[in-house]
Amino acid sequence: EAGVVQSPRYKIIEKKQPVAFWCNPISGHNTLYWYLQNLGQGPELLIRYENEEAVDDSQLPKDRFSAERLKGVDSTLKIQPAELGDSAVYLCASSQSSGRDTQYFGPGTRLTVL
Amino acid sequence: GENVEQHPSTLSVQEGDSAVIKCTYSDSASNYFPWYKQELGKGPQLIIDIRSNVGEKKDQRIAVTLNKTAKHFSLHITETQPEDSAVYFCAAKAGGGADGLTFGKGTHLIIQP
Q: How many Å lie between the alpha carbon of A9 and the closest alpha carbon of chain B?
A: 9
Q: How many Å lie between the alpha carbon of A112 and the closest alpha carbon of chain B?
A: 14
The predicted model gives B79-105 an average pLDDT of 88
Is the Cβ of B1 closer than 8 Å to some Cβ of chain A? Answer: no
**Measured between beta carbons, which residues in chain A are less than 8 angstroms from residue B98?**
56, 98
**Measured between beta carbons, which residues in chain B are less than 8 angstroms from residue A99?**
97
- pLDDT single digits (tens) B37-90: 999 999 999 999 998 888 999 999 999 999 999 999 999 999 999 999 999 999
In chain A, DSSP assigns E strands to 5-7, 10-13, 19-24, 31-37, 44-50, 53-56, 65-68, 75-79, 88-95, 104-105, 109-113
The answer to whether the CB atoms of A105 and B45 lie below 8 A apart is: yes
| A107 vs B42, B89, B93: nearest CB | B42
Q: Are A82 and A17 in contact (CB under 8 A)?
A: yes
The answer to whether the CB atoms of A102 and B93 lie below 8 A apart is: no
Per-residue pLDDT band at B95 (split at 50, 70, 90): low
The whole-number pLDDT of residue B7 equals 97
Q: Are B17 and B66 in contact (CB under 8 A)?
A: no
- pLDDT single digits (tens) A48-99: 999 999 988 888 999 999 999 988 899 999 999 999 999 999 999 999 876 6
Omega before residue A8 within 30° of 0, cis: yes
